[in-house]
Amino acid sequence: MPRLFRWYVHGVDRFNRTLGRIIMYGVFVMAAILLWSSISKTFFNPSLWTLEVAQFAMVTYYILGGPYSMQLGSNVRMDLFYAEWSPKKKAWFDAFTVLLLLFYLGVLLYGGLTSTAYSLGFFGSNAFEFYHKLFVAFFTGGPDAASEVFGYIERSPTAWRPVLWPIKVVMCLGFFLMLLQSISELIKDIATIRGEEI
C-alpha cells in the first residue's frame, strides 16, 4: 500500500476514535437532560427546552459516534453467511458494499448541506452558491459581512423555537466523517484482499 493511503487510514481512524470516545459520554448528557425534565415536570413548571435539547443531544451522539462504530465493526450486520466466510471473502464483500455506502452517504451529505443552507435563510436552487457567497463575505469582510448573506433563519415550530442550523451543521459533519471512515474501511479491505498490512 502506498504511504499516502497508510497515512490517510491512520489519521482518519485516530481522529474518529478520539472523537468517538469523547462522544461516548454524551449518553450521560442525555440522561441528565431527561432527569431534569422529569424533575421539572414533577416538582416545578415543566421546562420547554428539555425535549428538544435531548433530541439534539441524541442526534449528536449517534451521528458523531457513527464513524467510530464503523471503525469497530459494531454496526448491524446480517451474519447468516458472513460469519462463516474467510477474511478475504469478507473483505471482497465489504469492499463492494462500502461503495454503496459511499453513494448513500454522499446523497445524505448533499441533502444535509442543502438543508443547512435553507436553515440559514437561502431559498434558491444552488446551495453551494450560497456557501461560496458566505465564505467570500466572511474572509473579505469578517463576521458582520457574513451575517448580511443570511436570510430568514429557520426555527423549530415548537414553543421553545430554537434555531435549527447548529444541529444541521453537526449532521453534515457526521456524514462527512462517516464518508472519510468509509474510504478508510475501503482501503483496509483492499489491503486485506491484496494480503498487505496497513
Residue type for 112, please?
G
pLDDT of the residue at 68: 95
167-171 long-range contacts, Cβ below 8 Å, gap at least 24? 167/56, 167/59, 167/60, 168/112, 168/115, 168/116, 168/119, 169/116, 170/56, 170/59, 170/60, 170/63, 170/64, 171/59, 171/63, 171/112, 171/116
Q: Which domain holds residue 59?
A: 3-194
pLDDT of the residue at 107: 97
CA torsion angle for 124, 129, 134, 135 (degrees, to 10)?
Answer: 170
What CA–CA distance (Å, rounded) separates 34 from 36?
5
Determine which helix (DSSP H) or strand (DSSP E) holds 78, and give its type and residue range.
none
pTM: 0.90
pLDDT of the residue at 80: 79
Grid look-up 504511504 returns 3
Q: Are 149 and 140 in contact (CB under 8 A)?
A: no
What CA–CA distance (Å, rounded) separates 17 from 12?
8
pLDDT of the residue at 1: 80
What CA–CA distance (Å, rounded) separates 3 from 196?
13
pLDDT of the residue at 148: 86
What CA–CA distance (Å, rounded) separates 34 from 29?
9
pLDDT of the residue at 75: 74
Q: What residues of the chain score a pLDDT lower than 70?
A: none
Q: How far from the centroid of its chain's Cα atoms is residue 143's Cα?
A: 25
pLDDT of the residue at 172: 97
pLDDT tens-place string over residues 102-158 = 999 999 999 999 999 999 989 888 899 999 999 999 899 888 888 888 888 999 998
What CA–CA distance (Å, rounded) separates 73 from 20?
13
> How many other CB atoms are there within 10 angstroms of residue 162's CB atom?
15
Number of domains in the chain: 1
